[in-house]
Amino acid sequence: MAVLNDEQVMLRDMAREWADNESPVAAFRRLRDAAPAEGYDAAAWSAIGAMGWGGIVVPEEFGGSAFGYLSLGLVVEQLGRNLAASPLASTGPAASAIAMGTSDAAKSEWLPRIATGEVVATLAVDERPIHNPAKLSAQVTDGKLSGTKMFVAEGDGAGLFVVAATDGLYLVAGDEGVTREHRHMADERSHADIVFADAPATRLGAPDLTQAIVDRATAVLCAEMLGMAEQAFAQTNDYLKTRVQFGQPLSSFQALQHRMARMFTELELMRSVTEAALEAIDAGRSDIDQAVSLAKATASDTLRLVTREMVQLHGGIGMTDEHDAGFYLKRAAVLEAMWGNAAYHRERFARLNGY
Amino acid sequence: MASAAEVEAPADGLDQFRAEVRDWLAANFPRALRGKDNAMSAVDGPSDPTPEEEAWRKAMGDKGWGVPSWPKQYGGGGLTRADARVLQEEMAKAGAWNPIGGMGVMMFGPTLLEYGSEEQKQRYIPDIAAGNVRWCQGYSEPGAGSDLASLQMYAENKGDHYLVNGQKTWTSGGQWADMCFALVRADKTRKHEGISFLLIDMKAPGVEVKPIRLISGSSPFCETFFTDVRVPKANLVGREGEGWTIGKRLLQHERSSLSGGGGSAGRMLAGKPVSALAKEYRGTDEQGRIDDADLRMRIVRHEMDQRAFVATLRRAALEAKSNQGPSAATSIMKNVGARVTQDRAELGIEIMGMQGLGWEGEGFSEAELAQTRTWLWGKAVSIYGGSSEIQNNVIAKRILGMLDHQ
């Protein structure tokens, strides 16, 4: 855990208590079975709005608290522990796109409504199943955006899209020229392909803003992955203490103890690099790109290890739908691929360092 | 958010001490020694000190700043942690290094300060603080490695003294040591409770030291034989049978001093960044990338691992300073440090190809020959000071609360 100020400690504890009690994995299970069209837990999102978490990265002049990305990460980590179906991880970076963008009108129109949780916003960047922000074809002509975006997180329910076009980043609000097609994914969360056909678009900035926002979204995703990994690991550790075979709790077998020790080691490294990436963003450092790639490559590898081991070490029960292990496994695989998998970020890190 | 800079920023009250340190360093640190670190080492033998080095050791010894936080009454610096940090910062700025070191400073001194009698502290600590006496560690035996408590070296109670018989091994720097802190068995009927902590004069009759040649060709460790060695009762630390408790405490000091390895050694290989060395030996493709795609990605993995380790060292240090209590991250440092160190050495010999496996001869550069030895010596890192397997046991039991096998 990074060194936190009093505000951050309070925020983290509050988020942890809220997520554990009000948005546990059981709530996600109910949501999956109910399958609402918007694809997220609307009641929970209202509560999040009321607590002001929508405004954690929104400047104070627009109604936010401007606590910053380490703080947003602390909250998203707690949501990740409980697999809370919340659009916060998408809305935060989208708010930054507006706040860092060049349109004053967009700032005053949208940021206050994002801060209160009235609006769900998201990023629409990729145009293929594999993350590649360098290969885009969406175009803007006379203020109208056209193009197709794939696997947009929260695409089913978002009221505001931050869209990457070939010449930079744009804001598309409302439904004019916007068609959504739900993509039912293994993680049972909201993903949609979005077709923009002459959708009215407001310019936010050049392609370097696109990359800056994708880096922010990636760092926040790492925080969600950290929370998931933490909880998947803790639950596995608990299970090994209760399951008895050969007259012994599984927890007493050294072969398993060493696997758990190895996972714990990787988890500690994952926490360090995730917090370092969030802190780099808050400090406005020049090497945010490297810090983010280090974090996402590490987070992908470690969450993969922990969730696969969660299923394996739970044995048969972990294979059943009734158990939560499968939820962690399936969400992990989606997040590994989102914003570039470990291989993508290792290659990017190599290029940034001139290897 | 309290940034690293804010946490480490000096409080106003420290400014006066900072000025005092600067003046003292200007007056006492010989400029000729700037950056020429020649500290006492736990494994290397004594070098012939130059007059400047000798003067610097004496100045630091007299001032007590070689062991800045040890109590003044035993020859230490008596500094608070904040003052000690100021001293460290100012020494780094001046290019000055600490000439006082070795096992006495790293492990034995802190343990004796905690468990020793008043008489023992007065007798042994000042010589450690002044860098006058070299200590070695008598722990491992041929039959007691990871299962240290099965040690057999026997200290027979002879009234006013113990008669010691047995063998120790992996005695770091035993051939140069003046004194040995040893775990011995005064009671053969009980395993852990039969162990005592004894201080043995390495020059006493019956002590014989034989260096062990390692796969790297160097001999930093010894076998040490004890035959009817008389050790005064005054040399027992703590009570008879308390040796295991004291000995384990000492190991904590050892582990905390060992875990810095991968981080402090940094990202250098043969004096260059790993990637630069790879480009030099392997060349680049048309896009300027390291001309071996597989090696290139393994270098990335290693670099990322190294940076994650450094980020974790930094996080653990900040957490400890901000009084969040000892960080759980500390328990992983020894293993990750060993992994980073060994991976880097493996990459080194792989990058250099046959040139990285030379043993001696004109056909190899000094850096290449050093790389071979570094690679081989590095295999010790995951074995000494509690093997990686023992560290994993500790993580599983103490941190994760995993259960004992019945």
Of A89, A115, A141, which residue sits at a domain end?
A115
Say yes or no to pLDDT of A40 above 70.
yes
CA atoms within 13 A on the CB side of B221: 19
A267 and A310 share one domain: yes
DSSP B33: G
Say yes or no to pLDDT of A206 above 70.
yes
A105 and A146 share one domain: no
What confidence tens digit (pLDDT) does each residue in B54-82 have?
Answer: 999 999 999 999 999 999 999 999 999 88
pLDDT score, position B5: 39
What confidence tens digit (pLDDT) does each residue in A272-281 have?
Answer: 999 999 999 9
What confidence tens digit (pLDDT) does each residue in B183-195 have?
Answer: 999 999 999 999 9
Residue A103 domain flag? yes
A81 and A169 share one domain: no
Residue A199 domain flag? yes
Size of interface A-B (CB pairs under 8 A): 135
Query: End-to-end alpha-carbon separation of chain B, Å?
Result: 47
Is A316 touching B (CB cutoff 8 A)? no
Residue A214 domain flag? yes
- Separation in Å, CA of A251 to nearest CA in chain B: 5
A190 and A290 share one domain: no
What is the span of the domain harbouring residue A258?
A: 210-352
Asked if B261 and B377 count as a contact pair (C-beta separation under 8 A), the reply is no
H-helix or E-strand spanning residue B122: helix B118-129
CA distances from A279 to A80, A218, B171 (A): 19, 13, 44
Is B308 touching A (CB cutoff 8 A)? yes
pLDDT score, position B271: 83
What confidence tens digit (pLDDT) does each residue in A68-107 have?
Answer: 999 999 999 999 999 999 999 999 999 999 999 999 999 9
Structural domains in chain A (count): 3
Q: Which of B254, B319, B346, B362 is catalytic?
A: B254
What confidence tens digit (pLDDT) does each residue in B89-148 have?
Answer: 899 899 899 999 899 999 999 999 999 999 999 999 999 999 999 999 999 999 999 899
Spell out which residues of chain B touch residue A68, defining contact as CB-CB under 8 Å. Answer: 1
Both structure tokens of B130: 């002044």
Residue with the bigger pLDDT between A348 and B53: it is A348
Q: Which of A258, A294, A355 sits opposite B396 (nearest CB)?
A: A258
Say yes or no to pLDDT of A336 above 80.
yes
CA B165 – CA B177 distance, rounded (Å): 19
Q: What is the pTM of this model?
A: 0.89
* Confidence class for position B1, pLDDT limits 50, 70, 90: very low
Judge whether B254 counts as a catalytic residue: yes
A267 and A147 share one domain: no
Which burial class, exposed, middle or buried, applies to A260 when counting CB atoms under 10 A from its CB (0-12, 13-18, 19+)? buried
A86 and A144 share one domain: no
The CA angle B109-B114-B118, to the nearest 5 degrees, is 90
Domains of chain B and any CATH numbers? 27-132 (1.10.540.10), 135-240 (2.40.110.10), 259-399 (1.20.140.10)
Asked if A285 and A291 count as a contact pair (C-beta separation under 8 A), the reply is yes
A223 and A265 share one domain: yes
What confidence tens digit (pLDDT) does each residue in B262-297 have?
Answer: 444 456 788 889 999 999 999 999 999 999 999 999
What confidence tens digit (pLDDT) does each residue in A216-270 have?
Answer: 999 999 999 999 999 999 999 999 999 999 999 999 999 999 999 999 999 999 9
Domain harbouring A98, CATH code:
1.10.540.10
Residue A1 domain flag? no
Check B308 against A252: CB less than 8 A apart. no
A217 and A307 share one domain: yes
Percent above pLDDT 70 for chain A: 100
Domain harbouring A186, CATH code:
2.40.110.10
Residue A334 domain flag? yes
A16 and A55 share one domain: yes
A48 and A105 share one domain: yes
Check A272 against B301: CB less than 8 A apart. no
A193 and A324 share one domain: no
pLDDT score, position B385: 82
What is the average pLDDT value for chain A, to the nearest integer?
Answer: 97
Is B234 touching A (CB cutoff 8 A)? no
pLDDT score, position A174: 82
Asked if A260 and B402 count as a contact pair (C-beta separation under 8 A), the reply is yes
A34 and A110 share one domain: yes
What confidence tens digit (pLDDT) does each residue in B219-273 have?
Answer: 889 999 999 999 999 999 999 999 999 999 998 887 766 654 444 445 678 888 9
Check A298 against B304: CB less than 8 A apart. yes
Both structure tokens of A329: 């496994």
Both structure tokens of B119: 């008489």
